[in-house]
Amino acid sequence: MVRCANCGAKNRIPKERLDQGPICGKCRTPLKVTETPAVPVDVTDQTFSREVLSFSGPVLVDCWAPWCGPCRMVAPVLEQLASEYAGCLKIAKLNVDENPATASKYGIQSIPTMLLFKNGNHVNSLVGAQPKHEIERHLGTILTT
């Protein structure tokens, strides 16, 4: 999934076509595709392995649900972090209602839960709505080691 910087629309682009100059299906603007996008990417049970476990750098996975108030409070912070850390951190969003297999595998019992991965390995978890500075403090452990 690649979010259009111009109109915000989500575009599903096959991985093998990312280098072919994709354009937004809604506004026809060329899409900027980077290895670590400046916006959170949506992951599913089917794409989790490719997007998170096979990724060669640090990843923060936000486990959330649309009905969860604290999850909605954290979302703008994660979008800001995705923009600020573009190029060195991937932020992914996993809707636990639609993707129960991955949520179960990582023992998600409360949301929001943020899973931190480095080179495909789960290294830490943050449970509950956290302020930006606290999320960044935990990110420091996977960005510098």
Of the candidates 115, 111, 116, 114, the one whose C-alpha atom is nearest the C-alpha of residue 140 is: 116
7 included as an active-site residue:
no
- Which DSSP state fits 52? I
DSSP 57-114: SEEEEEEE-TT-HHHHHHHHHHHHHHHHTTTT-EEEEEETTT-HHHHHHTT--SSSEE
Q: Of these residues, 4, 63, 71, 88, which one is catalytic?
A: 71
Among the listed residues 24, 63, 68, 88, the single catalytic one is 68
3-state secondary structure of 127: strand
71 is annotated as an active-site residue: yes
Point out the residues that are catalytic: 68, 71
